[in-house]
Amino acid sequence: FFSVSPKSSMGDRYAAMRAVIGDDGVEKVRKSKVLCVGAGGIGCELLKDLVLAGFGHIVTIDLDTIDVSNLNRQFLFRKQHVGKAKATVAADVVRSFNSDVLVQGIQADIKEERFDNEFFSQFDVVFAALDNIPARRHVNRLCIASGIPMVESGTQGYIGHATLILKGKTQCFDCTPKATPKTYAVCTIRQHPDKPIHCVVWAKYLFSLLFGETDDVGKVTDLAEDRTYAAYSAESLFRKVFIDDINALLEIDSLWKKRSPPVPLMPLSEGGHEQRLWPSNDQKLLDERVAREMFSISFEELKKRRSKSEAALNFDKDDQEAMAFVAAAADLRCRCFFVPAETPFKLKTLAGSIVPAIASSNAAVAGLSAESAIRVVLGRANECVSSYLSRSIASGGKVFSPISLFP
């Protein structure tokens, strides 16, 4: 960390920073221009840190719009912001924290052609606060091509990391293999899933909302407080989540400017279902008719169980009825969004490997990212380390484990 100077200029908002990096250091930070790609979980925390640190010109880019499910941990957003662009709202909010800073928000896909090497070259540091590997690889390639330092960060539950990438001096993002992520952006899950795992996460949220205990209100669907599992039949629930909610998403035009829109399913027919809770061969893709049967039968069985139990039901992938409901709901969700299907066996594997997002992890990793950027702006990039956040206390009584970037 930085050493503290015994002399500093006091009486202004940057007094604490002057005590650490001096007057010249503060001026370098204030004259810098940085790009934050992503205004979600980590991005919101990072933008707050950058503005309060006094980075002079900040640009943030994010394609997504704000969903009600974002409000429990993306603290720049409020209920009145739902449906608006994340990047522009985040810029407006953090601008009010420090009027000295120029903040620009752009709602766009970072992969658009206008964001090329020339665009990246205007920045002193680029932050990759993204929730998917393809976009992070894209930003990594542009930073390497333009020679701009990149601070890459990510979280997975209680663990996380932040690391500096310098062309020709450190490993880049593509230099090491990446594990399959186990946490997923809620706005992706709720509004525009594009992978089977997104639909599995959504189906597990639906299960918890109906039969379990969850604080994640709004992650799946805006059911009124009095609309519990007891208020639904299989047919009415099917209509709510696979027809009405899909039609509601279609009304948000900004979501579908660069994406294929989903399609609602046909209503679930009443009666006439075969007693097929789980397919005889779960390594074959489900037929839609079978998925509908599984959804209907499993919901009614879970409804009976929940009505007889004082305690909420917990999802367990080895609970056949719970797993049948999640697998069927995920399969039907995939059909709405044209997501490639998976077998019930694969869906079961995916359902057992999901880790929730944690707000405090995002905040910690954002702070580490901002510190690395300050060192870069001061010309002290050689002092940067890869910082890893651990759920358990590491040696020395710390939750952060620094690893040297340079030989």
Residues with active-site annotation: 187
- CA separation for the pair 172, 176 (Å, rounded): 8
Is 69:205 a contact under the CB 8 Å cutoff?
no
- CA separation for the pair 35, 61 (Å, rounded): 8
- CA separation for the pair 398, 1 (Å, rounded): 14
Q: How far from 375 is each of 3, 33, 389, CA to CA, in Å?
A: 12, 14, 20
Q: How far from 204 is each of 84, 212, 243, 348, CA to CA, in Å?
A: 27, 10, 19, 11
Q: Pairing relation of β-strands 125-128 and 385-394?
A: unpaired
For 250, residues 6+ apart whose C-beta sits below 8 A from its C-beta are 256, 261, 262
Structure tokens at 111: 């992969």
Q: Half-sphere exposure of residue 94, counting CA atoms within 13 Å on the CB side?
A: 32
- DSSP characters for 323-377? HHHHHHHHHHHHHHHTPPP--HHHHHHHHTS-----HHHHHHHHHHHHHHHHHHH
Sheet holding 150-156, edge to edge: 102-106, 57-61, 33-37, 125-128, 150-156, 159-165, 385-394, 398-404
How far is residue 139 CA from its own chain's centroid?
A: 17
